[in-house]
Amino acid sequence: MMKIASVQAFPVSVPIPKEHQNQLRIGTMTKRDAIFVKVTTEDGLVGWGEAHHGRNPGAVATIVNTTIAALVKGMDASNVNGIWRKVYQAQFASHGMGAGSVIALSGVDMALWDIRGKAVGWPLYKLLGGERKPILAYAGGGGSLGFGETEALLDEVRELMARNYRAVKLRIGQGPKADLDRIEAVRDAFGDDLIILTDANTGYSLEDARYAMPGLEDLDVGWLEEPFPSHDYRAYEVASTFSSTPLALGENVYTRYEFAPHIERNDVRILQPDVGKSGGVTETMRIAALAAAYNIPIHPHGGVTGLDLAAGIHVIASIDNGGYFESSEGMNPLREGPFKNVPYALDADGCVHPLEGPGLGLDVDEDFIKAHPVIDGPGFV
C-alpha cells in the first residue's frame, strides 16, 4: 500500500509585462496564476498535479491544504476511485460542487495519477490504456490571438503557422460584426486549409449568436466555444439551431453530473473538460466515456502549467473520442518555467505526442515554485 503522507498545494503567480498583456472578452491578462499540488507517500514517492487557479488561486489552494489533505491522508495513493468518492461524499454531495472544491480535488487526483505512473514506471497514457500517437494541436489557449488590430492578429497567426500550427482559435466577443470581420481577414489571408476555431468566452447574447452563426458557417469555422455561460442550457439549446457550426463548451463544467445535461439535450457537439478543473484524470475519463456513447468528441481545455497540458495530451491519446490539443501560447512563463523538461513540442505536421517519462512525465523544479508565491487579486482586469 502506498500510504499518503502529505498533500500540499502551492499557489503561484507570475506578472505579465505590459507589452504582453493580451485583451480577451474576460479582461486584460495581467498575471499568470496556477496551483501546484504535491502528494507524497510514506515510501517517498512524489506526485504533482495542477489545480486550475479558478480566478482565486489562494482560496483554491486553501481548500486543498485545510480540507482535502485531512480527508485523504493515510489512504492508499493508488486508490483514485476511492479517494475521489470520499472527497465527493464529504464535500460535494451535500453542499454542491462549487467550482473551488472540484478544482481542488482535480489537482489532487492528477497528482495521484502521477504517483501511479511513477510506482510502475509507466507514462500516464499507457496506464490509461492509450498509445503514443500524433495529436493535432491548435494555438489559442493562454490569452493568445486576442482582441487588437487586424494586422497584428494576422502577424500572430503567420508566426504560429511558421511554427507548424495548422489550427488556431480566435478570441471573439467584441460584437458579432467586428468578430466576423476579423475571422474573414484571417480566412482571406491564409486560405481554406487553416483550421479556424472561435471562443467567445461567454460574451454573446442569443441575438449576437443568431447574427454571427450563419457567418461562422460561411467562413468554415470549426466551432463556436462558450458563446454563453455553461449553465445557460436554454440558450445553448436555442442557438444550436442557428447554423451548422458546432457549439462547444466544458472548461467551466464540473464532473460528469454537470456534463450529462448538455449531452442529453444535444445542445453542444464538442466537449472540453479541463483535467485540472473537471474532477481530475479519473473524472475526465468518465466524462469521455459518457460522451463517447453519444458520439461527442473530447477536445480538452488546456491548463496553465505544463502539468495540465501534459495530462490533457495523455488523456486524448487514451480515449476513443479524443480531439485536438489546446496549446498555451501568448506569454506564459508557467508553461515551461517550473519544469526541467518541456510539456509538449510541435512536430512538422503541427502535432504533439504524450510524454514518455513515468506518470505525467514532467520533472518539477521546486525552486521555481518557491520563487513565485501567489499574488492576490484578479488576473484579468
Alpha-carbon distance of 46 to 123, in angstroms, equals 15
CB of 12 to Mg ion, least distance (A): 22
Question: Judged by CB, which is closer to Mg ion: 116, or 335?
Answer: 335
Alpha-carbon distance of 145 to 336, in angstroms, equals 20
Stretch that binds Mg ion, among 68-76, 98-106, 197-205, 365-373 (CB under 5 A): 197-205
Alpha-carbon distance of 93 to 188, in angstroms, equals 51
Q: Any idea how long the chain is? A: 381
Count of residues of this chain found to bind Mg ion when the rule CB under 5 A is applied: 1
Tell the burial category of 232 from Cβ atoms under 10 Å away from its Cβ (0-12, 13-18, 19+).
Answer: middle
**H helices of the chain, where?**
57-63, 69-72, 80-87, 93-95, 99-120, 124-127, 150-162, 176-190, 206-218, 233-239, 255-265, 280-292, 306-316, 333-336, 366-371
Could you say whether residue 156 binds Mg ion (CB under 5 A)? no
Stretch that binds Mg ion, among 18-26, 31-39, 44-52, 196-204 (CB under 5 A): 196-204
Question: Judged by CB, which is closer to Mg ion: 58, or 148?
Answer: 148
The residue from 33, 50, 156, 199 that contacts Mg ion (CB under 5 A) is: 199
CB of 58 to Mg ion, least distance (A): 23
Alpha-carbon distance of 135 to 74, in angstroms, equals 38
CB of 242 to Mg ion, least distance (A): 19
CB of 147 to Mg ion, least distance (A): 14
**What would the DSSP string read from start to end of 215-265?**
HHHHTTEEEEE-SS-TT-HHHHHHHTTS-SSPEEE-TT--HHHHHHHHHHH
Question: Judged by CB, which is closer to Mg ion: 114, or 267?
Answer: 267
Question: Judged by CB, which is closer to Mg ion: 32, or 116?
Answer: 32
Question: Judged by CB, which is closer to Mg ion: 239, or 355?
Answer: 239
Question: Judged by CB, which is closer to Mg ion: 109, or 199?
Answer: 199
Alpha-carbon distance of 172 to 200, in angstroms, equals 5
Stretch that binds Mg ion, among 64-72, 105-113, 195-203, 308-316 (CB under 5 A): 195-203
Question: Judged by CB, which is closer to Mg ion: 116, or 277?
Answer: 277
CB of 272 to Mg ion, least distance (A): 7
Distances (CA, A) of 188 to 1, 162, 184: 59, 17, 6
Question: Judged by CB, which is closer to Mg ion: 259, or 339?
Answer: 259
CB of 141 to Mg ion, least distance (A): 8
Q: Binding to Mg ion (CB under 5 A): which residues in 114-133?
A: none
Residue 289: how many other CB atoms lie within 10 Å: 14
Question: Quick check: helix, strand or coil at residue 64?
Answer: helix
Q: Binding to Mg ion (CB under 5 A): which residues in 220-249?
A: none
CB of 287 to Mg ion, least distance (A): 16
CB of 276 to Mg ion, least distance (A): 14
Question: Judged by CB, which is closer to Mg ion: 201, or 243?
Answer: 201
Alpha-carbon distance of 324 to 241, in angstroms, equals 24
Alpha-carbon distance of 221 to 169, in angstroms, equals 10
Alpha-carbon distance of 319 to 330, in angstroms, equals 28
CB of 364 to Mg ion, least distance (A): 26
Tell the burial category of 23 from Cβ atoms under 10 Å away from its Cβ (0-12, 13-18, 19+).
Answer: middle
- Residue nearest Mg ion, CB atom distance: 199
**Which residues contribute to the site for Mg ion (CB under 5 A)?**
199
